[in-house]
Every structure is written in C-alpha cells, then in structure tokens.
Amino acid sequence: MAFRLFSFVLTLLVLGCLGAWWLGWAGALAGVLLGSAAAVGVDSWRGRRFIAWVREPDAARPPVLRGLWGESAYRTARALRAEQQKARDSAQRLGDFLAAIQASPDGVILLDEEGRIEWCNDIAGLHFGIHPQRDLLQHVSNLVREPVFTAYYASKNYEREVRMFGRGGTASQPTKLSVQLHPYGNGHKLMLSRDVTALALADAMRRDFVANVSHEIRTPLTVLAGFVETMQSLPLTEPERAKYLEMMAAQSARMQTLVKDLLLLSRLEGSPPPSIHEAVDLPTLMSQCETEARALSELLHPDEERPQALRFAALPAFNLSGAASELRSAISNLINNAVRYTPAGGSIDVRWQRLPDGGARIEIVDSGPGILPEHLPRLGERFYRVDRSRSRESGGTGLGLAITKHVVQRHGGELQVSSQSGRGSTFALVFPPQRVRPAPAADEEVSAPAAAA
C-alpha cells in the first residue's frame, strides 16, 4: 500500500516537474491533474473488470490485472477454488452417505419438519409404493395411507414401532412391515421400514405348532386322566381293569410316539446335511422296512381271507449315500402309511428305479382311497391330515410325511406325491445323482440303518 502511494506521488511529481519545465506553474498543475485523472481512469477500468468477473466468477480464469485489483482477483480466485473444493468434498461425502443408505436392506425416508419426503431409498419406495424422485416433497401421510400408520403419525409418540401392511406380496400372503419414526434435527424425522413378512410367518407357524402339539398331547392325556379317575372311583372287575389298563397303555404309547417324532424332527432341523461319503446298507434297510410293514399289515388286517398284497421289487443295482437311520425312517413312513391307509385286500408295491440323469427313485404305490388334489400341496406340513379319524385310529401322529420330506430334502432330493381319489396313491422319494453310488462289493463296508429311527 505504502509502495503504491509512493509510486503514485512520484509519478505526479515527475509529471508536475515535466509540466513546470515545459509550461511553468500552469504546466505543473496540468501535469499533476492529468496524472491523477489517468491514475483514477486506469484504476476504475481495473475495478470494473474485477467486478465484471466477480459477478460470474470463474475460479480457474481470474482477470489478469496489475496492482491492487490484480492481487484482489488472485486472492478471490484462490478462496473461491478452496470453497469449490470444499463443496465438491461435501457433495462427494453426501453422495457416499446416500449410496450407503441406498444399499441398506431397510427402507429409509427422510422427512422435513412438515412431514414432506426429502429423500427416500429404493427399498422404501418398494415398501410403500413411493417413487423416489417423483414423490419428493409430497406429504408422507398422503402416500402412506394405512390407518394404523396415520394414527401412529398423528400420535407424535414414536417410541415404538408400528406394524402394517406394505405394497407387494400376494393376496394370500401380503407384505408385513415394521415401521418406526425417529425425530432428529429441527423437527425432521427419519422413517425406517423393515420387511417382517418372514418373521410374522415364522411367528404364526410357531404359534400353530405349539397349539398343534398341545392339542395332540391333550387328547390322549384327557383320555388317560379319565381312565385313571374311573379306576380310582369305581369298583372294577379284573377283566374291566385289564381292559382299561390296555386302553391307557395305548394312549401313553401314542404320546410316546408323538414325542419321539417331535424329537426326530427337531434333530433333523438342527443337524448338518448327511455326508455323501457314507454308504447306506440298502439290503438291510429294505429288509427291515419289509418286515415292519408285513407285521403292521397283519396287525391291522388279521382277517386272513382278504390280506393286503405287499410286493417288494428286487433290490436295485445301486446304492445310496447318506444317513441310513434317517432314510429308513423316511422309507418306512411311506410304506407304513400305504399299509395303514389301504383297506384289506388292497395292494402295495415298492420299487426302485434309476433315473436318466443318474439319480434314483423309490416309489410306493398303493391301491388305497387316494387323496383329493386340493390336499396334495399341503402334504408334508406338520400335523396336516387328510383323514383325521383314520390317522388317529391307526396310531398316526400327523408328522410322518413332514419327517419324510425333511429327510429327503436333507439328502438333496424331493418327495413326490401323485394320487387320484378312489384310485390309490403313489409316494416317491427322488434322490440326486450325487447320492447314488454303485452297489458295494461283498466285502465293502456300508453303514447299517440304526434300529430305532
């Protein structure tokens, strides 16, 4: 600044001296005035260029000026560049932040103090049917119109989440959402939504399961308690006592079978899939199943005139790998069901088949009552019975097919059922090629099925 003043005064002095030398005192005055006017003019011109640039500043191209204005332009451009860099960094951070929220598996909506949507991720869009761009600045209660949400929003008490139906899903299984508002900043709100359909379904299944188990246990328990009371309160003859005790034993056996099946199911659910390196002793397994089935058939149909025809085809020329005890359970459940549901004089055929893809299939074909098509998709659900009374009469727990389905799925296969009402049923277990291996040589070791599966 001092230098500028000094050079300005020096220039005026030089001009004044030159004027005085040339024209005397008047020349000196004219030189000083002329120099001042020129200095003011140049300064104004520089100032105007600076202001013109400041109006639409381009930090990369400041005006090239000398002196104070040049310095100002240079410093302004530098400050501007620093600010622009800061703004770029902030925008980048915001972009990263929004991308992270976008990647969240939960729905996120940012609401302003009026409840208008400032931003929402795609998941929230799916949950509530909101368009992430088009619906910006719309009031959330205009777009999310579930009464339960409207009441929750109006209550201003957001300590707990609210459950409501969301968009998507099917008519039989609509999407269920858990939604919660979290106030932040100056009246803003963060709205989080989570798809809890699977959770709600698991919850309902757990409740159903507990109710079913309680019901299954309560029935024999009630009968048992009734017999105990009768025996305690009435004087009974010896034959009557024996009869009651026999009926009590049948009820307690039923409860035992139920508990055994429940334990087996929970063991199946909690253990890893059976190894593919463990070969099964198929001849032993099948002979155990056959002995059991024939004994059951004789027990259920002692009438020798119309016995059931049980036909077991020859053993296959291959073997299976997996858990022998589980496979025995699965196969004997199907054969025993065929025996239990097929009337006297009917037939049951058990045969093996090698599939073109290298897999294997065992099918159990009976000439029993068959099953109506509407029941087929639900077979394999726990406690699902087509014929309740028949199932209970023959000691069924309603868990046999659930166990079978679980076992075959653990072996990578599937349970296939085809049936026509009145014309018998075919239950088949299909195993993938990885579970099929050549039949063992006579001296090769295979795992025998456990006795009590």
| Burial bucket for residue 90 (CB in 10 Å: 0-12, 13-18, 19+) | exposed
User: Distance between CA atoms of 21 and 340, rounded to whole angstroms?
Assistant: 138
Contact with ligand ADP (CB under 6 A): which of 35, 346, 396, 413? 396
Interaction of residue 125 with ligand ADP, rule CB under 6 A: no
User: Distance between CA atoms of 307 and 451, rounded to whole angstroms?
Assistant: 27
User: Distance between CA atoms of 149 and 410, rounded to whole angstroms?
Assistant: 42
Of residues 307 through 336, those in contact with ligand ADP by CB under 6 A are 333
Collect all residues with Cβ–Cβ distance below 8 Å to 82 and sequence separation of at least 6: none
Mark the segment that binds ligand ADP (CB under 6 A) among 202-210, 267-275, 284-292, 377-385: 377-385
Cα first-last separation, the chain: 101
Q: Give least dist CB 379 to ligand ADP, A.
A: 5
Q: Let me know: does 366 contact 377? Beta carbons within 8 Å.
A: no
Interaction of residue 120 with ligand ADP, rule CB under 6 A: no
User: Distance between CA atoms of 166 and 144, rounded to whole angstroms?
Assistant: 9
Interaction of residue 398 with ligand ADP, rule CB under 6 A: yes
User: Distance between CA atoms of 75 and 202, rounded to whole angstroms?
Assistant: 66
Interaction of residue 254 with ligand ADP, rule CB under 6 A: no
Radius of gyration of the chain (CA): 44
Collect all residues with Cβ–Cβ distance below 8 Å to 257 and sequence separation of at least 6: 395, 397
User: Distance between CA atoms of 241 and 235, rounded to whole angstroms?
Assistant: 9
Mark the segment that binds ligand ADP (CB under 6 A) among 36-44, 53-61, 175-183, 363-371: 363-371
Residue in the structure block whose two tokens are 């005006």: 63
Mark the segment that binds ligand ADP (CB under 6 A) among 56-64, 227-235, 389-397, 439-447: 389-397
Interaction of residue 449 with ligand ADP, rule CB under 6 A: no
Interaction of residue 220 with ligand ADP, rule CB under 6 A: no
Q: Give least dist CB 199 to ligand ADP, A.
A: 27
Mark the segment that binds ligand ADP (CB under 6 A) among 89-97, 138-146, 202-210, 366-374: 366-374
Query: Binding string to ligand ADP for residues 416 to 435, with x set by CB under 6 A, is what?
Result: ---------x----------
Interaction of residue 297 with ligand ADP, rule CB under 6 A: no
Contact with ligand ADP (CB under 6 A): which of 368, 406, 410, 411? 368
Write out the two tokens for 299: 């027990």
* Cβ density class 343-361: b for 16+ within 10 Å, e for less: eeebebbbebeeeeeebbb
Of residues 152 through 171, those in contact with ligand ADP by CB under 6 A are none
Interaction of residue 117 with ligand ADP, rule CB under 6 A: no
Residue 193 vs 337, nearer CB to ligand ADP: 337
Q: Give least dist CB 171 to ligand ADP, A.
A: 27
Q: Let me know: does 265 contact 406? Beta carbons within 8 Å.
A: yes
Residues at the interface with ligand ADP (CB under 6 A): 333, 337-338, 341, 366, 368-369, 371, 379, 384-387, 391, 396-402, 425
